[in-house]
Structure 1
């Protein structure tokens, strides 16, 4: 059956979702060997503005994720890959507007990075990939949630859109926002965004424009991001500073 095939594909994507996008690496390499079209056509100021907007959008996607995980209880909305996990059904906060706020945040990040490359065909390809990729992961997760929570899930799903948020129906989160929970669960995403933009920008500078010297602003951003990553990972693994009861 088609539904079973989609579920199997979704399970595979779910398990390997941290690595699937590496398949775009050859295309990214081809794109960064070409000059930046916006800078070539409109000048450096327009190029800087466009790149700044893309970076801001990526951090907007991270903010969506951060707000979501800042309110959720333990056992839900995690970075697990081996199997589906859901001790409770999240229906408040951003989950009252969209059933998949974390994937919404991810999609915003991925499209921001794709647009940063300034290649319309790459951006379109990324969009088409995300439609197939997220559809299958969401279908797999919803099958699991419907089996575990039954009518509670089906009634909620009947009211709340699967992906694009509705503009009404907001329900305040049950738990207060926990910044420590965000730091514990999203520090790797923060560093990944900084590192990806650094690599893309500096690779293009070297491959397309033959500029060998690294941009000091990008180096500073990468250094700060790396330091934050190391400190937060140490705090998570070696201390209880980021632990929050019930989160």
Structure 2
């Protein structure tokens, strides 16, 4: 098998299982963080550093929200079982700046969590692993889009970076922003972010003191409130059609 077909095949396999890669990032990052706490080598960066980490993660979520909120139905997003899906080619809005904004958003979200380790070499390893994994997925996606859309895709992609956006204003999105689509598709982002930060806090406190005494910290309340909102939206999605929007 030629390398080009091998990379595409690997990308298609990884695409279907890409929802599980966060488990690896969480386990490895939490392991590094726990070891540094145990070894007493974790720097005293304070609460403000954690807020910076949160800001990086939420920036990634905002990138995803902007991208998803302006896209039509049946374009690649969270789908996994169907494989590659693209009813039309997204070219406007953030897609006028970068070819893979969703993976850029994912990277920033996980970078925020990875930064909690306060370990430069782990951040380097995380970035390298993310790139190797998602490079193959992006390769497979682009091969699919090239076959499906042909010349229009090549023309659009010719001056759009794959991952690092152009520093210019995006074009006006073809579709208006859909808050319903965001509440339906991206409802778990904030809860997941606060949940991960709270897990790091609990693990760190337990290792440092040999026990964990519950305290209603900022990270606990962020996780609790965002989880309640997530569950409410999940019930609304399952029991009503309020969040349904034709073509989105």
Q: Return the TM-score normalized by structure 2.
A: 0.92
- How far off is 1:13 after superposition? 1.5
Distance 1:27 1:106 in 2: 16
Aligned pair 1:187/2:187, yes or no? yes
Q: Residue 47 of structure 1: CA displacement?
A: 1.9
Partner Cα separation in structure 1 for residue 30 and residue 247 of structure 2 = 41
More deviation in 77-86 or 15-24? 15-24
The aligned residue for residue 34 of structure 1 is 36
Structure 1 residue 38, shift from structure 2 partner: 2.5
**How many positions carry a matched residue from both structures?**
241
CA contact (8 A) 1:183 1:242 kept: yes
Distance 1:198 1:12 in 2: 32
What's the offset of the Cα at 1:169? 6.5
RMSD of equivalent CA atoms: 1.6
TM-score by length of 1: 0.92
The structural deviation recorded for 1:37 is 2.4
1:83-232 aligned at under 5 Å gives the runs 83-168=83-168, 170-217=170-217, 218-232=219-233
Residue 17 (1) aligns with residue 22 (2): no
Do 1:61 and 1:108's aligned partners in 2 also have CA atoms closer than 8 Å?
Answer: yes
Q: Note if contact 1:33-1:204 (Cα within 8 Å) is conserved in structure 2.
A: no
Report Cα offsets for 1:7-56 as digits up to 9, x if no partner.
Answer: 122112111111123234156224324226221xxxxxx42111110001
Separation (CA, whole Å) in 2 of partners of 1:60 and 1:244: 26
* Alpha-carbon distance in 2 for matches of 1:104, 1:141: 15
Matches within 5 A, 1:57-96: 57-82=56-81, 83-96=83-96
Unmatched runs of 5 consecutive residues or more in structure 1: 40-45
Paired residues of 2:145 and 2:153 also in contact (CA < 8 A): yes
Give, in angstroms, the shift of residue 121 of structure 1. 2.0
CA change 1:212–1:229 in 2 (3 A) is same
Distance 1:167 1:27, change over 3 A: closer
